[in-house]
Structure 1
Amino acid sequence: MPEVMMGFPRAYAEFTNPDDETEVYRIDLTWLTSRWECIFGNGCPGIYADRPHDGCCTLGAHFADEDDEKRVRKAVKQLTPELWQYYKEGKKRGWVELEDEETLTRGEEPDRKTRRVDDACIFLNRPGFPAGEGCALHHLAVKQGRHFHETKPDVCWQLPIRRQFREVERTDGTSYTEVSIGEYSRDGWGPGGHDLDWYCTANTDAHHGKEPVYVNNKPELVALMGARGYELLKQYCEEFESRRGTLLRHPADPPR
């Protein structure tokens, strides 16, 4: 099925962060109540047509900050050859690389990211690997009975939820930090998003989940906004769903 075009109407709700009165959450009700669900290994064709088994792991993961990389490093130390296909490669030559040379020519500080080996992220187990294809760090979390947000890079466990920060000044001269919680849509990848052959968040093939995003992705949302913030988000989503409107629902969802 075709991907729905960006720019469709959305519904939002705003509320003060119960743990920090200087922050205001702006949540995308249309996305959070959608029936999107990750279909990696279940029909996902990958973001590039010539890499159908990679999902969105082809490019490697950029670390958000030092804490992000530190958490992943701790998880990597717990990986074994049985869980990680590129264990020897990672141990011998490392699993972190700097972003491409273009950033250096622009005079910018290059980002640190997971290495690409054989044209995809070094942590991606390829089809046929005994422990299973997909992220080795994800497999580690499952084996240890943890949620994968404790082992994977921030961008990987958050996707396709996107958290953004913006400073807002009121007309009375006061200000607050707006924290938006919404869809990591194709444009979230920057200009390169236009080059993706396939992307899931607005594709009808990935909108057949039994539960809405705010329920199915509760652990990620709690990690992003805290337990009390999530409870308020849940209330707003439930109220929005109770109206059963159609104008502001996600257009990639099946009819209800």
Structure 2
Amino acid sequence: MAEAPLDLPRVWVEFTDPADARQRFRCDLTWLTSSWTCIFGAGCRGIYADRPDDGCCTLGAHFTDKADRRRVAAVVAELGHDEWQYHDLGTATGTKDDWSEKEDGARKTRVVDGACIFLNRPGFPAGAGCALHQHAVLTGAPPHTLKPDVCWQLPTRRSYRTVELPDETSYLEITITEYDRRGWGPGGHDLDWYCSGSPEAHVGREPVYRSCAAELVELMGQAAYEELVLRAEAHLAAVKAVRARGNRALLPLLVHPATLEAERR
């Protein structure tokens, strides 16, 4: 299996947000209990075959709002030449136009030499990878507090919709699921490789809900995350029971197929 099918069977759980009774979470346990992990620099092929060292940084990152952009601007002011390969270019005039640009009316990180301006290329003394992420590690800050929203959320996706009930009441539904190829829009189908569905990336030591705990708390809130943990643990206990009975026919209904394929390999 090259990648898991986009419309794979999924196990969903729903619960009311402990912090706000007017909204409910709808969480994809198939994704959140999978063994996906970021393998940048450790086998990642990149989204384009001719740029394997870029990971998913080739296209740059669109900002969600002004606060997202201001957060990155604050980090730009802290980055040194020894941390950021494109420091001189990204600070040439001291404005956001040095390190960001507009595309179809939306502001995003600037693309330089074929990839995001914040991506340090192989051979840079500080090492290849996102300068923002590396700065977070260097200073002891959680990486998601310094990077653009889309960068730290991938490949988990949060979306919203209003659910209308028969009694003419409604609630806000917040979905937490896998950011698969379709999350990139129509062009997502043209990516040469994508990690969330690839067995090559399902080699983490912890399930996603644990390895990405900080990001999920940011997306959901602490109380809702704790509710998710209870349900994810129960789901893993059910998977363990199925495995113990040797009933492997049920596993594709309970476990992400890329995780199963990674185990088989």
For this structure pair, what is the TM-score category when the shorter chain's length is used for normalisation? over 0.9
TM-fit CA distance, 1:192: 0.7
CA deviation after TM superposition for structure 1 residue 125, in Å: 0.1
Which residue in 2 is equivalent to 1:248?
254
Superposed displacement of residue 72, structure 1: 1.0
Q: Percent identity?
A: 57
How far did 1:70 drift?
Answer: 1.0
In the alignment, the residues of structure 2 paired with residue 219 and residue 171 of structure 1 have an alpha-carbon distance, to the nearest angstrom, of: 37
1:202 deviation in Å? 0.5
Task: Give the corresponding residue for 1:68.
Answer: 68
Which of residues 218, 222, 225 is equivalent to 1:227?
222
* CA distances 1:92-145 after superposition (whole Å, capped 9, x unpaired): 16101001xxx3xxxxxx110000000100000000101110000001100110
After the TM superposition, which residues 1-256 of structure 1 pair with which residues of structure 2 at under 5 Å, given as runs?
2-92=2-92, 94-99=98-103, 103=104, 110-244=105-239, 245=242, 246=251, 247-254=253-260, 255=263
Shift, 1:248, TM fit: 2.3
**Aligned equivalents of 2:188 and 2:28: distance in 1?**
21
Letter paired with 1:197: D
Q: Secondary structure at the match of 2:24?
A: strand
Q: What is the one-letter code of the residue matched to 2:211? A: N
SS at match of 1:132: coil
SS in 1 for 2:26: strand
- Separation (CA, whole Å) in 2 of partners of 1:4 and 1:163: 20
How many Å apart are 1:249 and its aligned residue? 1.0
What secondary structure does 2:39 align onto?
A: coil
User: How far does residue 51 in structure 1 lie from its aligned partner after superposition?
Assistant: 0.4
Which blocks of at least 5 consecutive residues in structure 2 are unaligned? 243-250
| Mapped partners of 1:123, 1:216: distance in 2 | 24
* RMSD across aligned positions (CA): 1.1
Paired with 2:123 and 2:254, the residues of 1 have a C-alpha distance of 42
User: 2:185 corresponds to which letter in structure 1?
Assistant: G
Q: Secondary structure at the match of 2:185?
A: helix
Q: Alpha-carbon deviations, 1:59-109, whole Å to 9, x = none?
A: 00000011111111111111111100000000116101001xxx3xxxxxx
Q: Alpha-carbon deviations, 1:167-193, whole Å to 9, x = none?
A: 111111011111001100111101010
